[in-house]
Amino acid sequence: MLWKQLLQKSLIAVVLLTAIEAGAQVPGNTGSVGGESRGITFFRGTIVCAGCSLEAAQAANPHLGHLYAFNSDHGQVVLNMDDADERMWWETTTGLSDRVWLRGPDQLLSSLLAEENLFKKVEVAGLLRKEGVFDVGSVTFLG
């Protein structure tokens, strides 16, 4: 089990360092990524819908409390967030916003939007930037 966690964190670090070295740009920002002092952050939740608006997801699921819209170049996915590591950093960074920009490898972003993964629990690991951008390093479907 320990070796699996070490391997996962190593793979996440490689993906994130590759993005940083490539000089990935934050939408609306002219600076490159990097320079963050935060470590890898995990968030867990259930995919509520893909390609729908946050407002439509909230209207259809009024009993769900922590809905977030995660946008990317591939589209938008709405998750009901169960938990996040470094909850204070998450809430400080996203503020009152319930929208976060996702950036990462195509296959990881596409897996979040795939119809077969609707209503599945997911854990996403990466770096949460102070600009409200989450650099995705891994996506793991639970259960």
CA 49 to chain centre: 15
| pLDDT confidence of residue 11 | 53
Compute the CA torsion angle 64, 58, 86, 29 (nearest 10 deg): 170
pLDDT tens-place string over residues 84-139: 877 666 676 666 567 889 999 999 999 999 999 999 999 999 998 888 889 999 99
CB-CB contact of 103 with 113 (8 Å): no
Q: In angstroms, what CA-CA distances link 107 with 74, 97, 104, 137, 139?
A: 10, 26, 9, 11, 10
What is the pTM assigned to this prediction? 0.70
Q: CA-CA distance, 78 to 54, in Å (whole number)?
A: 6
Domain ranges of the chain: 2-24+37-142
Local structure of 38: helix, strand or coil = coil
For the segment 39-64, the average pLDDT, to the nearest whole number, is 91
